Structure 1
Amino acid sequence: MRPFQKILATLLLAASAAAAQAWPDQPITLVVPYTPGTGIDLVARQLSARLPAVLGQPVVVDNVAGASGNIGSEKVARAKPDGYTLLVQVNTLVMNKSLYKSLAYDPLNDFTPVSLTSWGTLLLVTNPNVQKTTSVAQVVAAAKASPGKFTYATPGVGTPHHLSMAMLLQSTGTEMLHVPYKGTAGAVTDLLGGRIDYMFLPVHVALQHIQAGKLKAIATGSDKRLAQLPEVPTLAEAGIKGGNVDMWYGVLAPKGTPSAVVDRLNKEIGAVLRQPEVATAFESQGMVPASSAPGEFKELMTKDAQRWAGVVQRGGITAE
């Protein structure tokens, strides 16, 4: 390294350290690109309730919903990279990279990953009145015998629920009729009423209906069985290659945020996630706390984007 390069590097490190020492000196905003009450909103509110104690500044949640999370995500991507505007997102962030023909931001290159916060998963469920649906093998056999006869609902095109089912159908060479809804509520209502046959649902949404006998769990998309439903096999156990459809949740900052600020956030978020009360709150929503180093989070995002891009391309799926 040449002398002037060493001087520049030293100055940059000094500036980053100075920024970290001064940060934070004003409130921090956690942008949630979805409506209140969602799983990602719960994550943000757990952080906003506990981070002020260690950061010494208020932490507020700003729900900026719309366009499958793109409006809120773009807002953070365009924000000043000073550590005061952060994004709390789920893996739809990287799914959107291949779903939308044009985005006003780059999900992989316009953010600095800070830390994972948790993992959630989806359950493949059915209305109990649908015949021959006690296992994935029976579902596949029935779908192959009657291509396009069976239906599955999603909260919309390109959602994790949709891509998870697309992955399953692609992996098994089967066809079903996709019925997209504008949100989860209407889809669940029709599933319970027998107007829809199958659906991938988050654990916290499906569990109450499973326990009441109104829905039947066929398989879980996690890499291991759920504590709440130990008798339900995973998709992998059912023979579905690459059947893990877990959803990651995490915090990101605008690209260019000082590394010292990112490191401080990573440390404090990790400490919050280790609190027993947070684990309990997450478990009520079918999630498990999980922190990570920024670099690990970046690697996960990159691999996940590639994986779901394959599903999108094979299925010819586009979102408008």
Structure 2
Amino acid sequence: MKNIKNKLFVLLLTFTSTFALGQSAEPIQGGSPIKLIVPFTPGTGIDTIARAVGPKLSEILGQPIVVDNRAGASGNIGTEAVVRAKPDGTTLLVTVNTIVMNRTLYPKASFDPLNDLVPITLAAYGDLLLVVPESSPYKTAGEFVAAAKANPGKLSYASPGVGTPHHLAMEMLKNQTKTFILHVPYRGTAPAVTDLLGAQVDAMFLPIHVGMSYIKANKLRALGIGAKNRNPNAPTIPTFTELKIGEVDAQMWFGFMAPKGVSSEIVNKLGNAIRTSLADPEVRKTFLLQGLDPATSSPNAFAELMKKDAVIWAKTINEQGIKAD
């Protein structure tokens, strides 16, 4: 299924690129700089996407592209900056599905991502792996879950912080398997991985490009992948559905958005330019090296995905009693 999706993606981008490049792409707002706000720190998957797409987008539109990292509050600070920006196409958000998780985690936020932002296009998907230290006694996901059931609260797992996809993926697994595994939140991925490697915690969900580097070095062991299908970058790692453990689909998505009120003409122009950028071989290579699966969508399809995921994650967050503080 994933191979079919990739082939369709390539065909779609080939058509889009040919169409878009065959026209003169007029600058947005007379060529004023376009700011890509990344609501997380440099070096994250979202930052990689913004910095890979930026130069090609600048070339297509003929105007400067600036990447602006505004981290904090699980992405809410940078997101709010875009919500409050003038809807003229010169301030865009490069985001991840954390944005719909935050909708439930931060009910008092001053904005609603489903109503106060306009989706432009998806950019990529990313998968999460459940990993344990190589020294762990658990060789399979089944053994890990069985141990968690037999010893409630004895096993622990790390995350880069409350409300991150890493955190909520494990909470989805816990909800599916009716287990209690102690959450140990860290301030970022690096310290969490350090303690995982030292077996100070028992497990963690990690993005595939992070996890595979340690798996290949025989420092971590993968027990399963939180997606509907296996990932071609890790074809031997089974899904939790295959393992009959549960429907753990914690796949991350990334995309571009604009402030509410932006014209459909600008959305279409930006969408065509971004999709053409995503078709560039060097951009695709950068994505794939980071374990990101390039993707595009129409604004409407992106909006529907956000609505669907908002419901799925709200269920997990509410049933698990997760609070942002």
TM-score when scaled to structure 1?
A: 0.91
8 Å contact kept, 1:152–1:177 = yes
Matched, 1:254 2:259: yes
Among 75, 78, 85, the alignment partner of 1:72 is 78
Q: Would you say the 8 A contact 2:41–2:70 is kept in 1?
A: yes
Q: Does 1:62 align with 2:97?
A: no
Q: Deviations over 1:228-285 (max 9, x none)?
A: 3221101221224431111000000000100010011111111111222112111111
| C-alpha distance in 2 between matches for 1:230 and 1:247 | 18
Aligned twin of 1:35:
41
2:109 to 80, 86, 103: 103
Q: Which has the larger radius of gyration?
A: 1
CA distance in 1, matches of 2:60, 2:252: 28
* Superposed counterparts of 1:29-178, under 5 Å: 29-131=35-137, 133-178=138-183
2:304 corresponds in structure 1 to 299
Residue 128 of structure 1, CA deviation: 2.0
Segments of 5+ residues of structure 2 without an aligned counterpart are: 1-24
Alignment match of 2:282 (pick from 257, 271, 277):
277
CA distance in 1, matches of 2:225, 2:241: 9
Distance 1:224 1:22, change over 3 A: closer
Residue in structure 2 matched with residue 11 of structure 1 by the alignment: none
Deviation, 1:227, is 2.2
**Structural RMSD (CA):** 1.3
In terms of mean alpha carbon deviation, does 237-246 or 285-294 score higher? 237-246
1:236 aligns with 2:251: no
Residue identity over aligned pairs, in percent, reads 52
Paired with 2:75 and 2:153, the residues of 1 have a C-alpha distance of 30
Question: How many residue pairs were aligned?
Answer: 300
Report SS of the residue matched to 1:93: helix
Cα deviation 1:59-102 (Å, max 9, x = unaligned): 11000111100000000000000000000000000100000131
> Counterpart of 2:157 in 1: which secondary structure?
strand
TM-score, normalised via structure 2 length: 0.90
Q: C-alpha offsets along residues 271-320 of structure 1, whole Å, 9 cap, x if unaligned?
A: 11122211211111110110000000000000000100000000111113
